[in-house]
Amino acid sequence: MKMLLRTTVFTPAMIWTLVVTTFVIGWFPPEGSAMLAPATSATVSDPGRAEDLQSIQRVLENKLVQQRLADLGLTPEEINAKLSGLSDVQLHQMAAQIDALMPGGELGLIIALLVIAILVVIFIYLLDRRIEIKKNG
C-alpha cells in the first residue's frame, strides 16, 4: 500500500514539474544576429576601436565560436579581413551586441530552473513523508 501511495503522489508531481520546467526553458529561445561587413579597410586610430577589436577577438578565440565560423566556411584570415573593414561605429555596435549576448548561454536561468525543480522535488518528498506518517501514526 505504501508503494502505491508513493507512486500515485510522486509520479504526477514529477511529470508536472518536468512539463513546467520544459515550458519555461522553451519560452526563452536563444537569440542570434548577423551583420554584413563592407570590404573597405580602416586603420586602428581610435583607442575605443582598439578596445572593441580586443573584445571581439576574445569572443572569436572561443572554440565554439571558431568551430561555428569554420562550419560556415570562414577562415581566420577572412574574419580578420572583415573586421578590419568595419567602420568605428559598426565595430562598436558589434562589440556592444557581443557583450549583450553572453556567449555561454543563459547559465543563470538554467541554474535557477534547476534549483526550483529540486525544491519542488524536495517539497513533494516531504509532503509524501508527512502523508505516510499521518497514515501510520
Number of helices followed by number of strands (H, E) in the chain: 6, 0
pLDDT tens-digit readout, 43-87? 445 667 888 888 888 878 877 778 888 888 888 888 888 888 888
114 has pLDDT over 50: yes
Q: What is the mean pLDDT of residues 36-47?
A: 56
- Write down the pLDDT at residue 104: 55
- Write down the pLDDT at residue 85: 84
SS (H, E, C) 24-68: HHHHCCCCCCCCCCCCCCCCCCCHHHHHHHHHHHHHHCCHHHHHH
d(CA 52, CA 17): 43
- Write down the pLDDT at residue 28: 74
**Measured on CA atoms in the order 109, 59, 87, 30, is the torsion positive or negative?**
negative
- Write down the pLDDT at residue 76: 84
